[in-house]
Structure 1
Amino acid sequence: MSDSLRATTIRITGDGGDEVEAYLARPDGDSPRGGVVVIHHMPGYDRATKEIVRRFAEMGYDAICPNLYWREAPGAAPDDAAATARAAGGVPDARLVGDVAGAAAHLRSLPTSNGRVGVIGYCSGGRQSVLAACRTDVDAAVDCYGAFVTGEPPEGFPLRVTNLVDDLPSLRAPLLGLFGVEDRTPSPEHVAELEEILTRLGKPHELHSYQDAGHAFFATDRPSYRVAAANDGWERIRDFFATHLSGGDPSTGADQPSATPEGA
């Protein structure tokens, strides 16, 4: 597989028919392949997030990240857009689901699509990845240390957010969760609760927690970065998406070849 790729800023149709900015990266070549929707972390639609989008393209997927703060702050710098969105209480859950559904629809509309789309999110995006997998049509979901999938937001928390316990019975896709033992939101107790709920519901899942890692251990530009945990996490993401995003259109059962992801 060639490691050549193309990346560009586009507009997609998001929740309510709104036009939303998004960052799209695609490997060269026309072989059928899966797609990945990347949900950015709370700091926003920033350089680090776009690097992740390009990484998935290098792995062999069409990948896209919608700018969740576009409506509040079109064209603003990531930090300013994130502050504006936080001041408004964060991204409403229903709007998030609509924007992810629009991003997934865009990926499935590409001529290279094999019909399968996964979603992955970091920090607040981890919770939103689970939310999207409960309320929209995706084939695999990855939660990287998403707070408040279980557990309760503390008193005075600035974002209007609830946990997803009531949504979990509707989880539509296999879930991979990657967490740090030293994290507080989600804490090991929150992860244990999630494990218990998913097991009781019979939902396919893999949850992994890393010693000597806290929140944001994937973030190479922050002191929280942990090399061993991040490297192992990327291997697990690679294998998980290779399992669930390969093959033909799941709605038709067609068996099509797809690009095999390279090691990340």
Structure 2
Amino acid sequence: MSQEQADLLPLPDEVDSQRRLLISAVLAGGFALAVQPVTAATIHTDSDGLVAGWHKAGPDLLLYAARPAHGSQWPVVLVVQEIFGVHEHIQDVCRRLAKQGYLAVAPELFLRQGDARGYPDTATLIANVVSKVPDAQVLADLDACLEYARVLGGDSTRAAITGFCWGGRITWLYAAHNPRIKAGAAWYGRLLGQETALTPRHPVAVAPQLKVPVLGLYGGKDSGIPLDSVATMKTALQQGSSGSEFVVYPDAGHAFNADYRPSYHAPSAEDGWRRMLQWFRRHGV
């Protein structure tokens, strides 16, 4: 039995067979079909000195967590997935953070809508799963994860959040939603967008009220997030007092930290990771 299987809490009897199949698919591991094949640059962080695996934190809340094998009351980092779910790359990010002394928790935020790893292309994935996920559901699940972190031995009074792409946008929103967290790091998350019933606000709308300092890590060659949207966000942040900052990497495009994809830009990713850790520690996490 794998460590992941060993750490998974038993599923309650009321979980229906369809949900069991979905959870089993999530636990199968690997990378999302939509990003196959993975590149040779893919980083693998081992679990030596760690406890890492899956947990069931509620009827519809499955999460991957990694922490040091010894000690307790670790500071907590919520890790928010890309559109591809908590696949191997996000799990690896959790293990990297655990090696730095954190309890890293990554919830499967699309579990009610479907298995993000099972779709062969991004357009189909977005249409069938991602577009159906309400922001309110996501924020509530992250609240629940922060509470569950205490069950795992974490100190939820010293908590931060980081997220990538889709999760970068959520990082900004959660920092506004929960002012008790100490810091955030948003990796190339969308800042502007159309307001809908499921996505009623975007980062630029919450920026003036933001109290939590967020470090924005963005690519100068990101065609999906143009620099004028970053400039708009900076202006909105000036209306508040969060102390948030941006770092824009001129040679990086979108998803420059995704080491399993051709978009990976190692110099920018490594510098961003270093700055994120410094940012968390600077703000008491």
TM-score between both structures, scaled by the size of structure 1: 0.81
Q: 1:91 aligns with which of 133, 148, 153?
A: 133
Q: Quickly say closer, same or farther: Cα 1:161–1:221, change in 2 above 3 A.
A: farther
Shift of 1:39: 0.4
Q: 1:4 aligns with which of 16, 25, 49?
A: 49
Q: Separation in 2 of the partners of 1:184 and 1:109?
A: 41
Correspondences of 1:26-175 after superposition (within 5 Å): 26-73=67-114, 76=115, 78-80=117-119, 83=124, 86-88=127-129, 89-113=131-155, 115-136=157-178, 137-147=180-190, 149=191, 151-153=192-194, 162-175=201-214
Residue 155 of structure 2 aligns with an amino acid whose one-letter code is S
Deviates more, 1:103-112 or 1:192-201: 103-112
Query: Is the 8 Å Cα contact of residues 138 and 172 (structure 1) preserved in structure 2?
Result: no
Q: Separation in 2 of the partners of 1:240 and 1:153?
A: 30
Deviation sequence 1:10-40 (CA, Å, 0-9, x none):
0113xxxx43110010112215321000000
Q: Separation in 2 of the partners of 1:57 and 1:199?
A: 34
Q: Separation in 1 of the partners of 2:118 and 2:67?
A: 26
How many corresponding residue pairs? 234
Q: Separation in 2 of the partners of 1:85 and 1:97?
A: 19
Relative contact order (alpha carbons < 8 A, sep ≥ 6): 1 or 2 greater?
Answer: 1
Query: Is the 8 Å Cα contact of residues 147 and 156 (structure 2) preserved in structure 1?
Result: no
Query: Is the 8 Å Cα contact of residues 108 and 115 (structure 1) preserved in structure 2?
Result: no
What corresponds to 2:270 in structure 1? Answer: 231
Shift of 1:49: 0.8
Query: Is the 8 Å Cα contact of residues 3 and 27 (structure 1) preserved in structure 2?
Result: no
Shift of 1:245: 3.6
What corresponds to 2:7 in structure 1? Answer: none
Q: Separation in 1 of the partners of 2:150 and 2:210?
A: 21
Residue 220 of structure 2 is aligned to residue 181 of structure 1? yes
Residue 63 of structure 2 aligns with an amino acid whose one-letter code is A
Considering only aligned residues, what root-mean-square deviation do their CA atoms show, in Å? 2.5
Shift of 1:108: 3.4
Q: Separation in 2 of the partners of 1:210 and 1:90?
A: 32
Shift of 1:106: 1.4
Q: Separation in 2 of the partners of 1:114 and 1:128?
A: 19
Query: Is the 8 Å Cα contact of residues 208 and 238 (structure 2) preserved in structure 1?
Result: no
Residue 78 of structure 1 aligns with an amino acid whose one-letter code is R
Q: Separation in 1 of the partners of 2:132 and 2:243?
A: 29
Q: Separation in 1 of the partners of 2:270 and 2:88?
A: 20
Query: What percentage of residue pairs aligned between the two structures are identical?
Result: 31
What is the DSSP-based 3-state SS (H/G/I as helix, E as strand, rest coil) of the residue aligned with 1:134? helix
Query: Is the 8 Å Cα contact of residues 5 and 57 (structure 1) preserved in structure 2?
Result: yes
Q: Quickly say closer, same or farther: Cα 1:153–1:112, change in 2 above 3 A.
A: closer
Q: 1:195 aligns with which of 225, 228, 234?
A: 234
Give the unaligned 5+ runs of structure 2.
Answer: 1-46
Residue 61 of structure 1 aligns with an amino acid whose one-letter code is Y
Residue 11 of structure 1 aligns with an amino acid whose one-letter code is K
Q: Quickly say closer, same or farther: Cα 1:114–1:162, change in 2 above 3 A.
A: closer
Give the unaligned 5+ runs of structure 1.
Answer: 247-264
TM-score between both structures, scaled by the size of structure 2: 0.75
What is the DSSP-based 3-state SS (H/G/I as helix, E as strand, rest coil) of the residue aligned with 2:57? strand
Deviation sequence 1:21-71 (CA, Å, 0-9, x none):
100101122153210000000122211111001111111100110001111
